[in-house]
Amino acid sequence: MKNAAAPDIAIHGIDRMLRNVETGRFERSLAGLTAIGSLITAAEIFFEHDSASFGNKWMYVPVALGPLGAAAGVAGFFSKRMAKTALPFASAVIVANGLQGTYLHARGIAQKPGGFSNLRYNMEMGPPLLAPLLVTLVGGMGLLAAVLRREK
């Protein structure tokens, strides 16, 4: 891709990525990645929570939010209006649920024998403390896509 101001200079690497953000090309891509990330994350959460027999009713919520995030991401990819309404709403709910999951996982570790004083063992054998933050990152991608400029 050539720069309009200097036709003989090609744009590469980080400069190309910054140009994509400036021109609005990145917004649709990020909405699409949010859709894909929501489905992959929901599937992973399903298998992990299923192995724990869905022992807490809140374990169903992140699994149910996966298709919601995917639908909002796909809608945001195709529609500017959805990218500015449905996508940030769904993404904010996903972020909130990820933060709630981090709290619930920390509480689960604290309830294991020895609690946080036996942190190394309980981190390995208890609920994964940092895993819900991955869902938060997927929601964060959707929020970022919603605030970026859209390609004309």
Below-70 pLDDT ranges, the chain: 1-8
Cα dihedral 55/72/133/52 (nearest 10): 20
Q: How much is the pLDDT for 12?
A: 81
Residue 10 phi, psi (nearest 5): -85, 150
pLDDT tens-digit readout, 7-25: 557 788 888 878 878 777 7
Residue 7 lies in a domain: no
The answer to whether 24 and 151 have CB atoms below 8 angstroms apart is yes
Residue 1 lies in a domain: no
130's torsion region: left (phi>0), alpha (psi -120 to 50) or beta?
alpha
Domain limits for position 55: 13-147
Residue 8 lies in a domain: no
pLDDT tens-digit readout, 75-87: 999 999 999 999 9
Residue 29 lies in a domain: yes
Residue 2 lies in a domain: no
Q: What is the domain count for the chain? A: 1
Q: Where are the alpha helices (DSSP H) in 1-151?
A: 13-23, 25-51, 60-78, 80-84, 86-111, 119-125, 131-147
Percent of the chain predicted with pLDDT > 70: 95
Q: How much is the pLDDT for 43?
A: 97
Q: pTM score, two decimals?
A: 0.86
Residue 116 lies in a domain: yes
